[in-house]
């Protein structure tokens, strides 16, 4: 099902332009598909070092985000997505660069299998990237907000930071919760993508690929 949505996402690739590319197992399948079109795009912006290496391995030119001013499309997976197109991302730990690259993109195309579609966010532990010296403080603040945070063992982000995975949340107002989490000193990024939701979600199901939009 991930393979099917990765292939279906090629429809959204704009010829002659730069595309933003996400991180994770679904994004990896998309990179394989994108390689078949590599002569028809100007290049890509990567949301992680892993993605950058894979794109370059296929001979796709990877641009630094600071080199470009606009990018029509960003394509990435998600850990959870609601019918409102709000997402939890960061299971692969790339949430900060994913949020930055998707902020620049005109459209966010989310590619998931059907198990990722949920009524509300929070059963998947919410990743929060933190400056290492702030991890204990941020964890205490997250407990006050109703969560049970744990440092992701043996993991350092591409930005040299730690991830707190927060269990026990039932996130019914993701737009405000994303903003509140950003106010905690030491938080770099949280894995809620609600203020900038996906524009289109391609969902892999046993019956085929289904499209969901916010409208």
- Give me the active site residues, please: 98
**Stretch of 8-16, 60-68, 75-83, 143-151 contacting ligand 5RP, by CB under 6 A:** 75-83
Is residue 77 at the binding interface for ligand 5RP, with CB under 6 A as the rule? yes
Segment 8-47, which members bind ligand 5RP (CB under 6 A)?
A: 22-26
Minimum distance from CB of 56 to ligand 5RP (Å)? 19
Measured from the CB atom, is 42 or 103 closer to ligand 5RP?
103
Number of residues that bind ligand 5RP (CB under 6 A): 17
Q: Is 97 exposed, middle or buried (0-12, 13-18, 19+ CB in 10 A)?
A: buried
Contact 116, 79 (CB under 8 A): yes
Taking the C-alpha atoms of residue 6 and residue 126, their distance in angstroms, rounded to an integer, is: 24
Question: Quick one: 102 or 135, whose CB is closer to ligand 5RP?
Answer: 102
User: Which residues ranging from 82 to 141 are in contact with ligand 5RP (CB under 6 A)?
Assistant: 89-95, 98
Question: Which residues contribute to the site for ligand 5RP (CB under 6 A)?
Answer: 22-26, 76-79, 89-95, 98
């Amino acid at each position: 099902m991930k393979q099917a949505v990765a292939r279906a996402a090629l429809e959204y690739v704009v010829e002659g332009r730069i595309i933003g590319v996400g991180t994770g197992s679904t994004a990896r399948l998309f990179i394989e598909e994108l390689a078949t079109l590599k002569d028809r795009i100007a290049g890509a912006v990567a949301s992680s070092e892993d993605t950058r290496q894979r794109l370059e391995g296929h001979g796709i030119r990877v641009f630094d985000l600071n080199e470009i001013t606009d990018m029509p499309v960003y394509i990435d997976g998600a850990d959870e997505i609601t019918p409102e197109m709000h997402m939890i991302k960061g299971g692969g730990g790339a949430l900060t660069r994913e949020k930055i690259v998707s902020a620049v993109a005109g459209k966010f195309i989310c590619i998931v299998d059907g198990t990722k579609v949920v009524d509300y966010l929070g059963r998947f532990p919410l990743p929060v990237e933190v400056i290492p010296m702030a991890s204990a403080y941020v964890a205490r603040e997250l407990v006050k907000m109703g969560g049970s945070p744990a440092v992701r063992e043996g993991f350092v982000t591409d930005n040299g930071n730690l991830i707190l995975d927060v269990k026990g949340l039932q996130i019914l107002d993701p737009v405000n919760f994303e903003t509140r989490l950003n106010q905690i000193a030491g938080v770099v990024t949280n894995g809620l993508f609600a203020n900038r939701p996906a524009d289109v979600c391609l969902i892999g199901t046993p019956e085929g690929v289904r499209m969901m939009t916010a409208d």
